[in-house]
Structure 1
Amino acid sequence: MTWTIYLSGEIHTDWREQIKAGCAARELPVRFTSAVTNHEASDAAGDVLGEENDSFWRDHKSARVNAIRTGNAIENCDLAVVRFGDKYKQWNAAFDAGMCAALGKPYITLHDESIIHPLKEVDAAAMAWARSADQVVELLAYIIAAD
């Protein structure tokens, strides 16, 4: 079986590439999906539907277009990794974790100790909390090897 892993959250570091490289080095049977990680492209996803003068409506249209991709990816994943960075608040990542919980999709949170408290509910529904991409790879290797 090839596992589909949805990578959600913070877009300003290379955590996705670290996980992908670690899984490739272990030759794990995985396929990765993700939201659009180019911030400008994500913000402009709804622009094809017409120009907006009000940023609320531009964001609203783009969020709905992006939700087609993210909703489908979450529904079709076997497991999600939800990354929270310490520099920006990733409201979208919290929403993705909530979708996973609502759909019964297992997820692993990835964040450092400094934000344990604000993420306590998100972590409580997660199957595991990792502090590094290496830990995520170790978890995936164990989970998939048991397959």
Structure 2
Amino acid sequence: MSWKVYLSGEIHTDWREQIINGSKELGLDVEFFSANTDHESSDAAGDLLRENTQQFWRDHQSSKVNAIRTKTLIKQCDIGIVRFGDKYRQWNAAFDAGVLAALDKPFITLHDESLIHPLKEVDAAAMAWAECPSQVVELLSYITK
């Protein structure tokens, strides 16, 4: 079975590449998907439809365009990995975790120990909590073999 893994969360570190490369090194039968991780083009996704002079409407329109991809890929995945970094609030990652939970999709949270308390409800819905990308790779290896 080929597994489809949705990678959600912060875009400021190379955690996605670490998981993808680690999975390739182990020869895991895993296909990875993600939201658009280019911040500028993500913010401008709605500009393809019409220009908005108010930031709220630009963000609103772009989030809906981005949601086409996000919702579709989350529905198609077998498991989600939701990464929370320490530098920015990742409301989108928390929302993705909620969608995964609502769709009864198993997911693993990825964050350091300092976020245990703020993410207690998200972690309660997750099937596992990992502190580093290499642990995620180990979990994927166990799960997919």
Give the TM-score band, short-chain normalised.
over 0.9
- Superposition pairs for residues 1-147 of structure 1, below 5 Å? 1-145=1-145
- Output the CA distance in 1 between the equivalents of 2:134 and 2:144: 15
Cα separation, 2, equivalents of 1:12 and 1:101: 25
* 1:118 aligned counterpart, secondary structure: coil
Structure 1 unmatched runs, 5+: none
What RMSD, in angstroms, separates the aligned Cα atoms of the two structures? 0.3
Percentage of pairs with the same residue: 68
Deviation at 1:45, TM superposition (A): 0.4
- SS at the partner of 2:80? strand
The TM-score with structure 2 as length reference comes to 0.99
Q: Deviations over 1:96-147 (max 9, x none)?
A: 00000000000000000011111000000000000000000000000001xx
Amino acid in the other structure paired with 1:10: E
- CA–CA distance in 2 between the matches of 1:126 and 1:50? 38
Other structure's SS at 1:88 match: coil
Mapped to 2, the partners of 1:64 and 1:136 lie a distance apart of 30
| 2:89 partner letter | K
* In 1, Cα distance between equivalents of 2:68 and 2:51: 20
Quick one: distance in 2 between partners of 1:4 and 1:95?
19
Structure 1 length as normaliser, TM-score? 0.98
**Unaligned stretches of 5+ residues in structure 2:** none
